[in-house]
Structure 1
Amino acid sequence: MSTSAALTQWDLVWPHGSLSVQALGGMLAPVTFYLHDAAGERAVSPLQVTPWQPDPALPGILRSLRGSWPCVPFGMTQPPADLPASWATHASDSPWDHGFAANHEWQLVARSDSSLTIAIDLPAAEPIARLEQCIAVDPDAAAVSVTLLVHARRAVTLPVALHPTFTVPADGVDVLGCGFSHIETYPVPQEPGVSRIKPNTQAQGLNALPTADGALDLTRLPLPIKTEELFQLVDCKPPFVLRYPTGTVELEWDSKQLPDALVWISNAGRDHAPWNGRHYAIGIEPANSVFDLARVATPPAEHGLAQRQGIAFSPERVTEITWRLSAR
């Protein structure tokens, strides 16, 4: 364990990699995989760590933003301006963007040479009482598995997402993606005055997102333009694959629980602090949600995501959500 005024984290090292888990937000990153094959020895560290130093003046989720964390409930607490008139808006269930657990410190529950278990208890007003994460490494492979246990205080259906966010290095990453039925674009420009993708429409491929200037190809990052984009891949068939110069990374999850993937492209499009035009990342967020808006907005019945109601939780059972990150 290492500590500072702002951070606590726990580390694991095994023959095929190393990882850190941050108490704040229960965030997993960095993760470095060591690859050994006929091509020699290589290392790939796919999860992003934001380029600013931990800042206690920032909201909890932004203070030391990195890697992956669970969002229960998932989404924003304020609707964007200028939603289409067919969308209804409503008050958020709580004041925490992406949930209480994404903004507060988790506690270490147990550890071994190959796993860490952390947990957080939520306030009494929250319908979820407790979250636990077990982060386990594969002793024989460059792979990490995460099990999230959700303990409900009362019966509730909530939008849920995982939030793996991957680095986009200067020498690039190929976005090979996964199978899906179609793409739903965000109902408004994700970053007003910056985002390029046409809002509130559908697309068929990552190589042809519609913009006012023609198709935008997102299969190779970074892009030559500054932008911020958010869209949802519907009916995903994991794994989602990214190819880095030093290795190929695969993200797997249970698509029965989390049927879609919300994709966030951050390509230096935010000039304001703490982003300051220097943040490059791609978020691949397995989700059961209407974008990141389900807590504050409802689309019309004919919208392609209208049936994404979230996961039903009950105090009579613990809900288990699993995902896996690996490299080759």
Structure 2
Amino acid sequence: MGNLNNWTIDWAWGEATVQALGGMLAPVTFELDNGQRIQPMQIAPWGETPDPQWPGVLRQLRGEWPCVPFGMSHAPQHTDPTWPKADDANPHDHGYGANHEWQLVQQTSDALTVAINYPAGDPVARLEREIRPDPDSPALTVTLTIHVRQPIRLPVALHPTFAVPHSGLEVIACPVESVHTYPQPTEAGVSRLLPDHSASSITALPATTGKLDITHLPLPFATEELLQLRGCKPPFVLRYPGWKAQVELDWDTSQLPDALLWISNGGRAFAPWSGRHYALGVEPLNSFFDLARVLTPPSSHPLADRAGLLIHPGQPAMIRYTLRASGL
């Protein structure tokens, strides 16, 4: 079922809604074998009263969506001045598809497919996304297909954002090769992590206050943080003790080798965030943070090889990933 703005598919273990704007997947309700019903996706608190002046990606921010090309369209100001910077000719942060309305292609009892055509002249021609529930468990498999008009290397990411309830979220995460902090403070004057540092674990990140452990959210202070987990080996595991539930995100690391973590912990005081946004983004990606479109790190940087997916016309990239819930 659906309307002009969203479509919903239900199955024995839950229901999932896809929003036309951004193709965003949320809410997603899972019915667990312990009798719990959970909705683990973040839904921004301003979604009912969006300002048309805000970028499309922010107006009804929620859940999970694809970012093609991933990242910012404007170069940051405070990174190392020796790193080459340039604004992207494409003005849309996280890509055209994250900021515009998708169309329904097909809906059956088994799957829901939506798509968006990119403007003529854009190297990307079309994105398609199929949401297919598992008939035997509280799980969804999503398939993203990227069609291009010319050979191109694109920074690509998925953008699942998860709820951080008052009862808490435990970030079990995934085994990693290394952890890297953002090249500049994620939010000037607010962020605690030291820029452009490396660590071996998310339990002891270099911060202005010493070592920061981000495995239990929400944090006891307002902040916004970004860090990239190199060589993340999924599933990425999140545990909701208050809900007696666990959520796992799994994906193909041959395409998207890392995970970008976005800790949104009430750290943005300006609209629309207004100090009230709490979420955890777990973003499988092939990119240098969200900066590959506008910034070139030195070859010596540990993430310098994260340049994006090489895609050819007539050979669309197909990325499949799974969201699964279980009781504790």
> Which range, TM-score by smaller chain?
over 0.9
Aligned pairs (5 A) from 1:164-183? 164-183=160-179
- Match 2:282 to one of 262, 284, 288: 284
Q: Give the aligned CA root-mean-square deviation in angstroms.
A: 1.0
Offset at 1:2? 4.6
Task: Check if 1:49 corresponds to 2:46.
Answer: no
Aligned 1:25-40 pairs, distance under 5 A: 25-37=22-34
Describe the SS at the equivalent of 2:58. Answer: helix
**1:77-88 equivalent positions in 2, closer than 5 A:** 77-88=73-84
Letter in 1 for 2:136: D
**CA shift at 1:54, angstroms?**
4.2
**Structure 2 stretches of 5 or more lacking a match?**
none
Which residue number in structure 1 is paired with residue 97 of structure 2? 101
Distance 2:134 2:215 in 1: 29
Secondary structure, counterpart of 1:62 in structure 2:
helix
Please identify which structure carries the higher strand content.
Answer: 1
Q: How does 1:236-315 map to 2 (within 5 A)?
A: 236-244=232-240, 245-246=242-243, 247-315=245-313
Residues 1-328 of structure 1 correspond to what in structure 2 (within 5 A)?
1-3=1-3, 8-37=5-34, 41-52=35-46, 53-55=48-50, 56-244=52-240, 245-246=242-243, 247-328=245-326
In structure 2, distance between residues paired with 1:196 and 1:149: 37
Q: Count residues in correspondence.
A: 322
Aligned-pair CA distance for 1:204: 1.1
TM-score normalised over the length of structure 1: 0.96
Cα distance in 1, alignment partners of residues 111 and 267 from structure 2: 37
- Please list every run of at least 4 consecutive aligned residues from structure 1 whose deviation after the TM superposition is greater than 4 angstroms: none
| TM-score, normalised via structure 2 length | 0.96
Name the CA shift for 1:2/1:116 in 2 (closer, same or farther; >3 Å): closer
CA distance in 2, matches of 1:323, 1:2: 24
CA distance in 2, matches of 1:172, 1:192: 26
Which whole-Å CA distance do the structure 2 matches of 1:117 and 1:12 have between them? 10
Q: Which amino acid aligns with 2:194?
A: K
Give identity over the alignment, percent. 54
One-letter code of the match for 2:257? P
Tell whether the 8 Å contact from 1:187 to 1:200 is kept in structure 2 after alignment: yes
Q: Is the contact made by 1:93 and 1:295 (CA closer than 8 Å) also made in structure 2?
A: no
Q: Structure 1: which 5+ runs fail to align?
A: none
